[in-house]
Amino acid sequence: MKKKYIISGISGITICVIILCAFTINKNMDITETVTLEEQIPTAVSRTGGKVLVTYFSVPETDGVDASSGASRLVSDGKLQGNTEYVATVISEATGGDLFEIKTVHKYPGTHKELIDAAKKESDENARPALATHIKNLKEYDVVFVGFPNWWYDMPQPLYTFFDEYDLSGKTVVPFCTHGGSRFSDAVKTIREMEKGAIVLDGYAISRDRVGSSKDGILNWLKKIGMQD
């Protein structure tokens, strides 16, 4: 009987030691992981003497009302713009960056339902729609902003074509997006995977309901990442 108690006592202590060790190892790994990640992703742009490029993809819808009511379009100074296009314009004006629109050879439908269906089909097929616009003199730029709407919890498929086409190694890539609630989804992670030689900042996500009043927020963010005095 006594022997049984001693054995179960030893077993109990052994289990406690194992749990304690596992907890300590796990805790240490978490700390190491956090430190490594923080070290890897800079929070500001470090300039290397090149120019700034502000690229964007945006599809203003032709039906519905403007972004203040949740549609993918905005009327600014009497001009109809897509939500992401508007944000790109603000960034370009604030940073003096060249504006570049990522356009596809095929035209997306302007009406909401048709656009939703077309984008879903491309997403399901993991399509690479051909691009109609191409960056000249990419080597002149050291900072490349890349803006897009969240489509189906991801970046639109033309952005995959874009990142396939360009090697942005050595540059700082600054993603920004507009969305209906999903923010970036996993798009920033995907960009990091597709542009392994680039520094890809965490970027800036703006809800489509707030695009019309987003200018001050954009300027503050640009200041924070060192792109505005």
Ligand X SMILES: Cc1cc2nc3c(=O)[nH]c(=O)nc-3n(C[C@H](O)[C@H](O)[C@H](O)COP(=O)(O)O)c2cc1C
Among 97, 129, 149, 175, binds ligand X (CB under 6 A): 149
Among 92, 95, 104, 150, binds ligand X (CB under 6 A): 150
The interface region with ligand X, picked from 16-24, 26-34, 41-49, 151-159 by CB under 6 A, is: 151-159
179 binds ligand X (CB under 6 A): yes
Give the whole-angstrom CA distance, residue 111 versus residue 94: 31
Q: Which of residues 15-54 bind ligand X (CB under 6 A)?
A: none
* CB 123, min distance to ligand X, A: 9
Could you tell me the CA-to-CA distances from 23 to 9, 13, 17, 31, 33 in Å, in that order? Answer: 21, 15, 10, 12, 15
116 binds ligand X (CB under 6 A): yes
CB-CB neighbours of 91 under 10 Å:
25
60 binds ligand X (CB under 6 A): yes
Long-range contacts of 134-139 (CB under 8 A, 24+ apart): 134/165, 135/53, 135/55, 135/100, 135/166, 138/53, 138/166, 138/168
Closest CB to ligand X among residues 166, 184: 184
* CB 199, min distance to ligand X, A: 25
Give the whole-angstrom CA distance, residue 20 versus residue 213: 52
* CB 37, min distance to ligand X, A: 25
Q: Where are the alpha helices (DSSP H) in 139-196?
A: 157-165, 187-194
104 binds ligand X (CB under 6 A): no
| Interacting residue ranges for ligand X, rule: CB under 6 A | 58-60, 72-73, 82-85, 115-116, 119, 149-153, 178-182, 208
